[in-house]
Amino acid sequence: MKLMGETRRVQGREITKNDIELVRRLIEANLSRNRTQLSKELCLLWNWRAGNGQFKDMACRNLLLKLEQR
């Protein structure tokens, strides 16, 4: 994914070059991890939560799908 500047909004979250690199490193560290497992880890690392305090796991999975498509 090419970022035109420092950030790009994906799935309601600002994604930076560093975020993309983090996702790549997590994938490379465990190639057998599926998108759900990866999204749970990212939500924890980013502390990405909904207003009710729950992790935004589904939004994160959609974000990963969109990044993969780009």
| pLDDT tens-digit readout, 20-29 | 999 999 999 9
* CA 31, 64, 58, 44 torsion-angle sign: positive
What is the predicted pLDDT for the residue at 2? 47
Q: What residue has token string 């991890």?
A: 33
**Residues 67, 8: contact at Cβ < 8 Å?**
no
Q: How far apart are CA 18 and CA 33, in angstroms?
A: 20
DSSP 32: T
Whether residue 1 has pLDDT greater than 50: no
Q: What residues does each domain of the chain span?
A: 11-69
| pLDDT tens-digit readout, 48-69 | 999 999 999 999 999 999 888 8
Q: How far apart are CA 23 and CA 37, in angstroms?
A: 12
